[in-house]
A and B are shown apart, each in its own frame.
Chain A
């Protein structure tokens, strides 16, 4: 999805890509959550449309806005249907990642673990942020008061506790990991073994095929914007 979307800037290509994503959303049972993330993307799509409308044509503005939606949907699909744990396991199986991690951090699974942890901390941090905002509002803080400079300064009482909580949590996580023997030895086994099934090969095949076709089209034809 991503590569064709980035290769072409045509309204029709985007419409086709978006339509091909819709059934996947329903198969993955994430259509509702996707709709919610769309709502968050409305502002940005508006901005993209406006910028391209004034610098280019209406059609390129529509195409680029749709491209943003295609990318948003592709990322939503991926992250809403893939658990961070599975992703981490999969990353851990890639030889290149292990090699880089060993060279760089000294342990083969440190890099994939860092990635998983980072992804997993986002929702926790969001909950903390809400609590900090509530706590400071209870002390009379009004975030939307004053001029622009004042408003930016209003965020200091939110950001400092949040940063400290994150640092403190990561130190605690490090201690907890060490007390459980992380990173262990080379050749650590995993409770869940990921296996590629027939469906996975099919998806890989379709994706590679689609990418190949779109690169071929890109090299041989000029696809009009509309």
Chain B
């Protein structure tokens, strides 16, 4: 920010007592030096933050019209759709916003995997990110229960029943989660309370995530550290503009679904009111849980661990294993651009995740060209864990990385002369 700005007496008065303008400037303004070579994959962090804000804004409006009671929840959502001014728009933005949030955050995570953004010194930044995705999953799951349709009710039943797999205390935990003997009114009430609370917890986690980010600054596509002012440009106006442009493109994508295919990501069964005595014939979770769901169903009875408990461990383990990633990958080179073998296995891993999602969308006894989905799911699950526990550690020791550029500037400037020029 220009010095003229700080000469304004009102700004000066505030700044002397609470240096908030400096804080903003150093966070997202001209006072934040950013690597000058960030590509469009770096847009997804700010997009995630914007989607969170959109979700909170639409969510508050929906909360003003929603009734968290088993007898009225479904009807109150229908009232939002039919009678409340722009209620349909608020709900469709919120409903599709959930899917958009996961699209954006999944891309953001794969970006981190490809460019090694989880590596030293950004391990904690990455770990906070894992807690953010876990909180997002909990928030999305509880939000999905609120309209009290058939999928809402049975998703809540199946997922809370997962906890009954815990030995000895499992059943008591499930009763405690429900506040009754089945998913019922007390369950709906507490899910609503948590669904309102967790986005603010997310907000807090995002704040800590950004705090950690600003200590060592953004990683970048070549993955070498910032070595001097020649390697950076100010965040504002360069990346504020780039983020805004990306936001425009993203909103076109987002609003296409809101206006032209609002139920694309949903299940028609959720427009049938919850009936505790009839299970829908085909229960599927929302698309963003399909890979986890495939892992849940893939695990067989093993040794003393039942298929049910094993499935639950596998499902939670598939996300929690990300916490160990900074120590499983021992290669000092961050970016996959300079890691020819890792780069190939990265793409195999992306395909494996897509296969898991595809398996999760099918019933386990279904068959694909003579191969049961159950077995495709098992192979893909084994590969998922092998990627982290075997492939990544081995590659990081055996692979010979390509030579790294001297600096960010040298890598992106013709002839690599900019380093000298800046000096």
Decide whether A and B assemble into one complex.
no
Chain A residues with CB under 8 Å of chain B are none
Residues of B at the A interface (CB closer than 8 Å) are none
